[in-house]
Amino acid sequence: VRDVRSAPDAELLRRHFNSITAENVMKATTIGVSEGVYNYGPADELVAFARANGMQVRGHALVWHQTAPAWFFAGDPAAADYRATVQRRLERYVTDVVTHFRGQVYAWDVVNEPASDGSTTWREDSPWYRALGPDYVDIAFRAARAADPDTKLFINDYNTEFAGKRGRLMSIVDAALSRGVPIDGVGHQLHLQLTTPTAAQVEQALADTAARGLMSHVTELDISIYDDPGSCSASRTGCATGYPSYAEIPASVLQTQATRYGELFRVFRRAQNLTSVSLWGLSDLNSWLETFPVRRVQAPLLFDEQRRPKPAFTAVAQSIA
Ligand code: XIL
């Protein structure tokens, strides 16, 4: 919502994009003040901007372990009616929020990041999983579908381009589909490192999704200017050292990034059932990667710190021309 409040950012949005996503203001930590009490103000501002400029809105994200306010889980977990109480709160939240944005949001990330990074299928430390077990996915999707029959309902996760993580996510998806849970598509976040994964790995993730008859959305694309070991995101150790300043990022790094953006958009162009691609941010002035997993200079997007098109922008434009 910061971007629509800034005149030059709003201009950049209008010029290059036809879909926008709220980075934070549609999450339960913003909207879900307490049971039955909602803060829709910032999200409504975004939706109004989109509508005024002929843009569409992707909803992100109804149910996520990182944005799960404590009021959903209040009570004694040992009580006989605890589970039913949490289920009722979840159903009410999803119903009310999807109803509020009905007709204005073309797709919702209903459940974000349900799959584990480890050996279990599910992310078992999620408060949703702890309270409701795997049923939380069914409950959320069914409530969303009942509230808006026309919006597309997505399950969204990161690292879907890696076979292990994708296998865990798809086993959740396949089981839910077999129970008749209304999942329309898989969201592939695509937070990529400078040189991995390959475009071919991304292509495989999109193909596996299409093979299930599901839609794909690329939901959070960015390409870091670093290559980190797995320990960097897992425990913030071993992360690549940041460049001293934005101006000191080597031109060769920005060129590598551009080449990768170009390859990816060629894959996107030919992929089946891929109907939306979103970048996770607008220009290098603001990216969540500046502080995640560690604080350092970053430049993961298509426009630079002065909102000028980067080599990455040119590469994308050429790929989709
Ligand atoms: C991030 C936002 O960009 C940050 O501003 C916020 O502090 C934390 O969340 N996967 C997701 C997004 O699905 O919602 C996350 O967004 C980035 C990782």
Q: What is the pTM of this model?
A: 0.98
pLDDT in tens, 89-119: 999 999 999 999 999 999 999 999 999 999 9
Q: Measuring from atom 12 of ligand 1, which residue has the nearest CA? A: 23
Question: CA-CA distances (angstroms) from residue 166 to 121, 186, 189, 209?
Answer: 10, 10, 12, 10
Alpha-carbon distance 32 to 111, whole Å? 16
Alpha-carbon distance 12 to 24, whole Å? 20
Alpha-carbon distance 142 to 256, whole Å? 43
Chain centre to alpha carbon of residue 42:
18
What secondary structure does DSSP assign to 183-203, as a single string? --EEEE--EE-SS-S-HHHHH
Q: What's the confidence (pLDDT) of residue 62?
A: 99
How far does residue 76's CA lie from ligand 1's centre (Å)? Answer: 30
pLDDT in tens, 276-301: 999 999 999 999 999 999 999 999 99
How far does residue 289's CA lie from ligand 1's centre (Å)? Answer: 9
Alpha-carbon distance 142 to 183, whole Å? 9
Angle at 265 between CA 261 and CA 268, to 5 degrees: 140
203 is catalytic: no
Ligand 1 atom nearest the C-alpha of 61 is 14
How far does residue 78's CA lie from ligand 1's centre (Å)? Answer: 32
Q: What's the confidence (pLDDT) of residue 90?
A: 99
Q: What's the confidence (pLDDT) of residue 309?
A: 98
220 is catalytic: yes
**Does ligand 1 come within 6 angstroms of the Cβ of 67?**
no
**Does ligand 1 come within 6 angstroms of the Cβ of 112?**
yes
**Does ligand 1 come within 6 angstroms of the Cβ of 73?**
no
**Does ligand 1 come within 6 angstroms of the Cβ of 126?**
no
Alpha-carbon distance 111 to 109, whole Å? 6
Spans of the chain below 70 pLDDT: none
